[in-house]
Structure 1
Amino acid sequence: MAFNTGLSGLRAASVDLDVTGNNIANASTVGFKSSKVQFGDLYASGFLSAGTNPIGDGVRVQDVKQSFGQGNISFTDNGLDMAISGDGFFILNNGGEIRYSRAGQFGIDKEGFVVNNQNMRVQGYTADDDGNLSGIRGDLQIETGNLAPRRTTNLTTDVNLDSREPVLENQVSVMGEFGGTSFDGVPFNLDGTGTPPVPVTAFPAGSFTVSYNDGTPDRTVTIPAGLSAKDVAAAINDEEGLSASATTELNFPQIDDAYIQEPGFDFNLWIDGSEVFLDLSGVNSVDGLISEINGSPSARNLFASLDDDGELRVVDNSGNTLSYNFSNDNDVGSDGTDTQLGIVRPQADRSVEDVSVSGDPLYADTWADRSLSTTNSFNPIDQRTYNHATSTTIFDSLGNPHELTQFYVKDASPSNGVGQSQWSIYLQVDGELVAGTDQQPYTALFDQDGVLQSVNGDPNGEIVVTDWVPKDANGNPNGADGPPDDPTAVVSPIPEPAVSSAFVVNLGSATQYGAAFGVNDQQQNGYTTGRLSGLDVSDQGVVFARYTNGQSKSLGQVALAAFNNTDGLSPVGDTTWVETFESGQPVIGAPDTGTLGSIKASSVEDSNVDLSAELVNLIIAQRNYQANAKTIETSDAVTQTIINLR
């Protein structure tokens, strides 16, 4: 019997050595759980009893039990590495077989699926195209394609309008008629016709007298001969109550793609005698010439584009004198000089009653049959005609950015300043007034506490824009969705998917306090297209994709599984386990819910092997093995003594 007892001890000690050695070998294995051998003694027993003096038959290995205690969490530089802090297992799809693991070293395969080092796919809750998580469990997949653009359908603006701002009552506008064309409240060109300005290389001498109704002495405006458009505008701007802007425009109907592609093509521009540097070596089309002009550092205020007839146009918005020449080997070309005066506008700081005109017909025709009177004329390019303005970027259906500007003008109170204030609101997209504000502004009313009451009677403070046509840099429709066929059918909020360029401006949070104008918040829901730039994982296991347009979208959520009897799981290698009858069925849910642990991104869970304890166990197992071997050796010696008896 001693032989059998010793042999059982050797077997048990050998198993203990194997388990301890396996723990030591996996001390650096991510997600590994250490094991411990559990022993039980053996006694012979019969049906009736084990006798009065039973002697044990040795030892047997009852179980090799794993310890599922938490391992240390170490940070990594891989955004998809995950560690579970708390209870739970990752769910892995191994070609249809479901496995469970604590090892969170994950990456992406060629098809975009999140996988571990053995190409087992990580399972989780999938998301739809808008990033909304569902309750459907499947293999997590990362979409590596571009994020499609989204048009702006809602803009929320939270602003404070300064209640201390004055009411802009002393604005002036042009009244009268010339040549059958009405000029009421409209800026006019300094050529007397209302058409684009007449080219003038050097303006003739002229003068006109401005009379004021507030007792200010009359002022005579004298324009010396030979001034450029910029100088004439400056002379008019010096007079109270008047404003002018200068523009010089050159048109080149002769220059087309064929002309440029002829040998020896040459094109030169000068601004007030200073040459604009142009590199024509790679230019073989009108579009290429436009890009070269607009991109030249020495072009200053020049802007080249195609006009309505598709011909090359170069504009200087400062009224500088422009000189040019162009030619090719088959054409002597042309050269010339041009300077023009653009729009004349009334100013906001004077009420002008009458203007008498004398001098050159160019100036006489400009003012003939016109007078200036006090109105509340809004002019978006004249900062004196509005109190506040703020801009933000919105996007059309193709993802093209456009600049939306909101203008706020303090009006006279409808209740004589008692308990109520009124502001006019104008909206402009890319320099064009929208929402009908070119005809009539929206009216915002505030109560005595500075709280918004309504915008055009709407207590929600919403402005529905239904007349916006998205355009390109040349002012032409860019192919994106335009206004709805029936503007009256547009409702707020605009349902998805949107089918027009209509959008809502929400001013419901606007206030009017005695504090400086400020934009507290401004949010819009559109964006341009974006490329995948990175991935993030939240504590709830949600995988977020980051894109180059600043947007992020949920791609899915990692699912975790827990078991009533974790010790019942069966290890199958690769730091994975499978479900057994003893473990029970898994309880599956999202991380950080119920009893499930949270996810630590860019981290892994280290092995929970205590190396110091395992080395001590190794010494103990070795001594146990040696002691049991001694039992066999002693039994052999006793048996040999009996055999030697005669």
Structure 2
Amino acid sequence: MPFTTALSGLNAASNNLAVTGNNIANANTVGFKKSRSEFADVYAASLGGVSSITPGAGVKVANVAQQFNQGNLQFTDNNLDLAISGEGFFTLAKSPTETNDLSYTRAGEFKLNKEGYLVNNQGKALLVYRPNTTKVEDGFSTGVTTPVQINTLTGLPSATDTVNMQLNLDAQDDFTPSTLPFDPADSNTYNSQTSTTVYDTLGSPHILTTYFVKLDPATAPATGTSEWLVYHYMSEPATPNTRTAVPVTSGPLGGTTPESAKLTFDSGGKLIDPLDGKFGLSSYVITPPTGAADIEIDTMNFFGTTQVQQKFSVNGMTQNGLPAGRLTGIDIDDEGVIFARFSNGGSQTMGKVALTRFANNNGLAKLGDTAWGQSANSGEPIPGQAGANNFGAIQAGALESSNVDLSAQLVNLIVAQQAYQANAQTITTENSIMQTILQIR
């Protein structure tokens, strides 16, 4: 009996040494979770239970339990490296084409494979929630996960439909005599001009030039007000001297003279008509030679434009069109939203990292490669998003280190060694007793 007890102690101590050695070996493994040996004593029992004088029958290994406490975050120079600060696992598919075979990991060493999919070192694909559109504000389909493919993308062009101008028109300018009809080729027929580049549906550039003509104050509808006519012409960059008028479709003139719009300022130089500074333009009357759709600028916004005694100046000029662009980078925010950035200044939402947690992490099946799988003891997977429903935040450009404390493990190694030696000594002692008994005649 003492031999059996001591052997069980040797087996338990050996298991403890193996677990401690495995912890030490993985001290630098990203996303690794340390384990500990958990023991239970053994008693021989009969129908009457265990006698108060029955010695124990040894020890058994009850469990090798992993400890899922947070590891330290180490920042890297790779923005595809991801770490979870808090609860949750990254959700992985066996491959970009085998998305039903799932595993879970805390190791966020991701990279692009040759097809442009975001994968880990074992080729398993990171799953994300599919975006509803290319914009974050339109949300994500959280019930649908998919691999994310990035480097085959092109930044798609976007046609201009809004132009914002904040200007100052010089109050000291002379008005243009009505005997001089407006002519964009004759600088004597207008006071100021400014240009911006706009884009058609194929991303081709066009030059939109806006001309300002001051009217005779005597014709103003109210005392102390000033009026300016606004004309818009479009031209191609290759032929900038060829201008095509773009009529106004709505605005202060109500369409009565669609070739121009009108800005009205009060005696303090504030724009009062249109009050919101907006009017629209009709389609570019010449179809772009590239085959793109006609350019239609729905909103010309002059809100913030003034007329004071300062030289004509452009204080702000923006438009929302984009040419075609190439992929220049990938960004991932703390909610796991993946953005592709393009050389045209645009960005596209590629997806939102899908996280998963379980009721019992210790019940997960150990798959190796710092990954776990669902089991009967783990409970059902609970899908979610970073920063919501008890899920942690995602840190891009960082990795979660192993949670192994080397100092503690080295101490545990000494303890396990002493336990092993002590159990071996029990066997030695028992052997000496047996030899003594056998030598008695």
What residue is the counterpart of 2:247 in the other structure? 436
Output one character per residue of 1:257-313: Cα deviation in whole Å (capped at 9) or x when no partner.
Answer: xxxxxxxxxxxxxxxxxxxxxxxxxxxxxxxxxxxxxxxxxxxxxxxxxxxxxxxxx
Q: Does 1:417 align with 2:211?
A: no
AA of the residue aligned to 1:157: N
Q: Are 1:157 and 1:507, in contact at CA under 8 Å, matched by a contact in 2?
A: yes
Equivalent residue of 2:298, what SS?
A: strand
What residue is the counterpart of 1:480 in the other structure? 291
Q: Does 1:101 align with 2:108?
A: no
Q: Are 1:452 and 1:461, in contact at CA under 8 Å, matched by a contact in 2?
A: no
Shift of 1:93: 0.7
Q: Does 1:502 align with 2:296?
A: yes
Q: Are 1:72 and 1:608, in contact at CA under 8 Å, matched by a contact in 2?
A: yes
Percent sequence identity is 40
Q: Does 1:528 align with 2:323?
A: yes
Q: Are 2:166 and 2:302, in contact at CA under 8 Å, matched by a contact in 1?
A: no
Normalised to the residue count of structure 2, the TM-score between the two structures is 0.85
Q: Are 2:164 and 2:301, in contact at CA under 8 Å, matched by a contact in 1?
A: yes
Output one character per residue of 1:390-418: Cα deviation in whole Å (capped at 9) or x when no partner.
Answer: 32211122221112122333434534434
AA of the residue aligned to 1:423: W
- What are the residue-to-residue correspondences of 1:37-76 with 2, within 5 Å? 37-76=37-76
Q: Does 1:622 align with 2:441?
A: no
AA of the residue aligned to 1:12: A
AA of the residue aligned to 1:500: D
Equivalent residue of 1:71, what SS?
A: coil
Equivalent residue of 1:510, what SS?
A: coil
What residue is the counterpart of 1:260 in the other structure? none
Equivalent residue of 1:526, what SS?
A: coil
Equivalent residue of 1:531, what SS?
A: strand
What residue is the counterpart of 2:281 in the other structure? 464
User: What are the ranges of 5 or more consecutive residues in structure 2 without an aligned counterpart?
Assistant: 236-240, 249-256
Q: How far apart are the structure 1 equivalents of 2:398 and 2:68?
A: 18
Shift of 1:111: 2.4
Out of 158, 162, 166, the residue aligned to residue 155 of structure 1 is: 162
Out of 3-12 and 69-78, give the one that drifted further.
69-78
What residue is the counterpart of 1:638 in the other structure? 433
AA of the residue aligned to 1:555: M
AA of the residue aligned to 1:523: T
Q: How far apart are the structure 1 equivalents of 2:314 and 2:383?
A: 46
User: What are the ranges of 5 or more consecutive residues in structure 1 without an aligned counterpart?
Assistant: 173-373, 472-477, 482-498
Out of 130, 139, 148, the residue aligned to residue 147 of structure 2 is: 139
CA-based RMSD: 2.7
Q: How far apart are the structure 2 equivalents of 1:62 and 1:450?
A: 84
Equivalent residue of 1:503, what SS?
A: coil
Shift of 1:460: 6.8
Normalised to the residue count of structure 1, the TM-score between the two structures is 0.60
Q: Are 2:36 and 2:66, in contact at CA under 8 Å, matched by a contact in 1?
A: yes
Equivalent residue of 1:56, what SS?
A: coil
Q: How far apart are the structure 1 equivalents of 2:27 and 2:81?
A: 19
Shift of 1:78: 2.7
Change in Cα spacing, 1:5 to 1:454, as seen in structure 2 (3 Å) is same
Shift of 1:67: 1.2
Output one character per residue of 1:183-221: Cα deviation in whole Å (capped at 9) or x when no partner.
Answer: xxxxxxxxxxxxxxxxxxxxxxxxxxxxxxxxxxxxxxx
Equivalent residue of 1:402, what SS?
A: strand
What residue is the counterpart of 2:9 in the other structure? 9
Q: How far apart are the structure 2 equivalents of 1:509 and 1:398?
A: 29
Q: How far apart are the structure 2 equivalents of 1:449 and 1:30?
A: 66
AA of the residue aligned to 2:200: D
What residue is the counterpart of 2:252 in the other structure? none
Q: Are 1:543 and 1:555, in contact at CA under 8 Å, matched by a contact in 2?
A: yes
